[in-house]
């Protein structure tokens, strides 16, 4: 028996792992960060079981190299994701914690709406 | 309250999402598939809470383009991962199902060994 | 002796190879394609020696999987890039040719403006 | 008119840009670096016009995070590539220079063997 909460946690993990490894390495700067955030949010929003996604990239860490730009690093991510399976809602996040881009489940709750498909 | 099973499911999801999006797009052919499998397995094996990982890439799908090689696609993956948090063990997999690279929890069980750290 | 044209060609190649392998695998659909195009163009526009970049993703190829989205594939790219080194301007592109995402130099010309830095 | 040297330089650039953005972000440690080097070399070796490729990843930079591993960063690369178009041979490299993973053409020479195809 696998619960809806366990499935929702699994799905949240998939999306955080995916977005990290898809976009790390992207050339970035403060003036282009918003476009990259939008692209990530829209990409993740298409994936199954996702009902909410916000991505903020830490501009303070976007220090220019000799050519005037930086590169998207895991440590820049502050992401919050919500997944729903059946009536279980899982909120999870990725954010810098002791210099590591930590991914964690924040909490679960129930919804009356059934979104499993 | 978040259970160890939920955390183990979350961690398994992270690793499957990560390996998919890290390696999709890699130039590949039947004669180089083993090296890519080894690199993926070794990379995932480093990540927290992973106690088992096997990756098989479907050689039959590695059809040569005009330059004699192919490209790693999500549909080629057959991956099995085991994660452990506390005494909870989660086995999950990714494999082609109705033309979609499906990621799923297979089962949970308990271990007497405590691996949370 | 390495000419400015050769350097400009090398730089154009770097950017096309980079954008392909950075973004292939991104979840995508017709309604999110514009955001991904914008993110790619802005990312590439930051890189050294780039003076022009346009990226169009072929919406016709964005066929929905069972979860209602698609994935960015190399074959969807139609990209045009301009690089400048010294007085040499290189125009190059990537586009589908006989089912292969072909990258090619289109032409060189001279500019009176010196952009080497 | 586009020369074989210009084409060979373009092809070398493609491969360096590609390998960088394909593999940056891969979980890595000193004991797995050889497997990742082998996978990268074999992947690049499949691509058109490549006649030589060596990739060395700087183990000294693989500092462990709290979970005991590191992540492949652009600064770790020391790569040398040879491409051939017609009778033109281009040698290029990527290596750390003033804290930037610099890609550069090293030199051109002629071969009597015609490898254009």
CB contact under 8 A, D24 and A21: no
Question: Which two three-digit tokens encode residue A81?
Answer: 């994701």
Q: What is the pLDDT of residues A53-74, one digit of tens each?
A: 999 999 999 999 999 999 999 9
CB contact under 8 A, C24 and B21: no
Between A116 and C103, name the one with better pLDDT: C103
Q: What is the pLDDT of residues C14-62, one digit of tens each?
A: 999 999 999 999 999 999 999 999 999 999 999 999 999 999 999 999 9
Instruction: Please determine, for residue D115, whether its predicted confidence score (pLDDT) is greater than 90.
Output: no
How many angstroms separate the CA atoms of B15 and D56, rounded? Answer: 25
**A103 annotated to a ligand binding site:** yes
How many angstroms separate the CA atoms of B12 and B5, rounded? Answer: 10
Q: Nearest CA of chain D to the CA of B20: how many Å?
A: 11
Q: What is the pLDDT of residues A77-91, one digit of tens each?
A: 999 999 999 999 999
Q: Give the pLDDT confidence score for residue A116 in this predicted structure.
A: 53
Strand-strand pairing, A50-57 and A77-85: antiparallel
User: Which residues of chain A have a CB within 8 Å of the CB of C48?
Assistant: 67
CB contact under 8 A, A2 and B103: no
ipTM of the complex: 0.95
CB contact under 8 A, B47 and D39: no
Q: What three-state secondary structure class fits D45?
A: helix
Considering only CB atoms, D21 lies closest to which of A25, A98, A100, namely: A25
Helix (H) or strand (E) holding D13: helix D4-23
CB contact under 8 A, C43 and A22: no
Residue by residue, DSSP assigns B38-98 as HHHHHHHHTSTTEEEEEEEE-GGG----TTS-EE--GGGEEEEEEEEETTEEEEEEEEEET
Q: Give the pLDDT confidence score for residue D112 in this predicted structure.
A: 77
Task: Give percent of chain B above pLDDT 90.
Answer: 95
Backbone angles phi, psi at D60, to 5 degrees: -65, -25
CB contact under 8 A, C67 and B24: no
Instruction: Using only the alpha carbons of chain C, give its radius of gyration.
Output: 15
Backbone angles phi, psi at A53, to 5 degrees: -155, 125
pLDDT confidence band for D46 (50 / 70 / 90): very high
How many angstroms separate the CA atoms of B65 and D16, rounded? Answer: 21
Q: Nearest CA of chain C to the CA of A69: how many Å?
A: 6
Q: What is the pLDDT of residues C86-99, one digit of tens each?
A: 999 999 999 999 99
Nearby residues of B30 by Cβ (< 8 Å), 6 or more positions away: B59, B62
**C94 annotated to a ligand binding site:** no
Considering only CB atoms, C18 lies closest to which of D6, D10, D17, namely: D17
Q: What is the pLDDT of residues B22-79, one digit of tens each?
A: 999 999 999 999 999 999 999 999 999 999 999 999 999 999 999 999 999 999 999 9
pLDDT confidence band for B114 (50 / 70 / 90): low
Residue of A36, A42, A45, A55 to mutate, testing the C interface (most C Cβ within 10 Å of its Cβ): A42
Contact D19, D41 (CB under 8 A): no
Q: What is the pLDDT of residues D55-102, one digit of tens each?
A: 999 999 999 999 999 999 999 999 999 999 999 999 999 999 999 999
Q: What is the pLDDT of residues D7-42, one digit of tens each?
A: 999 999 999 999 999 999 999 999 999 999 999 999
CB contact under 8 A, A24 and D25: yes
Query: For residue B68, what is the nearest residue in chain C, using CA coordinates?
Result: C100
Architecture of domain A4-110: 2-Layer Sandwich (3.30)
CB contact under 8 A, A36 and C42: yes
Query: For residue D97, what is the nearest residue in chain A, using CA coordinates?
Result: A66
Contact A93, A80 (CB under 8 A): yes
Query: For residue D20, what is the nearest residue in chain A, using CA coordinates?
Result: A25
Question: Which two three-digit tokens encode residue C24?
Answer: 């292939």
Considering only CB atoms, A9 lies closest to which of B6, B15, B20, namely: B6
CB contact under 8 A, A105 and B10: yes
Q: Sign of the C-alpha dihedral, residues D31, D33, D36, D37?
A: negative
Return the residue matching tokens 């303070």.
A60
Considering only CB atoms, A71 lies closest to which of D66, D74, D99, namely: D74
Distance linking the first and last C-alpha atoms of chain B: 18
Q: Give the pLDDT confidence score for residue C112 in this predicted structure.
A: 76
pLDDT confidence band for C115 (50 / 70 / 90): low
Chains that touch C (3 or more CB pairs under 8 A): A, B, D
Enumerate the domain spans of chain B.
4-110
Helix (H) or strand (E) holding C102: strand C100-110
Q: Give the pLDDT confidence score for residue A80 in this predicted structure.
A: 98
Instruction: Please determine, for residue C114, whether its predicted confidence score (pLDDT) is greater than 70.
Output: no
Return the residue matching tokens 């096997």.
B54
Nearest of D1, D95, D78, D16 to residue D49 by alpha carbon: D16
């Amino acid at each position: 028996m696998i619960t809806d909460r366990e499935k929702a946690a699994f799905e949240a993990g998939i999306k955080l792992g995916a977005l990290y490894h898809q976009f790390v390495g992207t050339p970035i700067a403060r003036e282009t960060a918003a476009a990259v955030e939008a692209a990530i949010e829209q990409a993740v929003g298409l994936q199954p079981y996702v009902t909410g996604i916000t991505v903020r990239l830490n501009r303070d860490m976007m220090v220019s190299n000799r050519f005037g730009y930086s590169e998207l690093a895991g440590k820049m991510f502050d992401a919050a994701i919500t997944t729903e399976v059946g009536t279980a809602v899982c909120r999870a996040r990725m954010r810098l914690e002791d210099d590591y881009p930590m991914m964690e489940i924040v909490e679960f709750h129930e919804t009356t709406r059934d979104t499993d498909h």
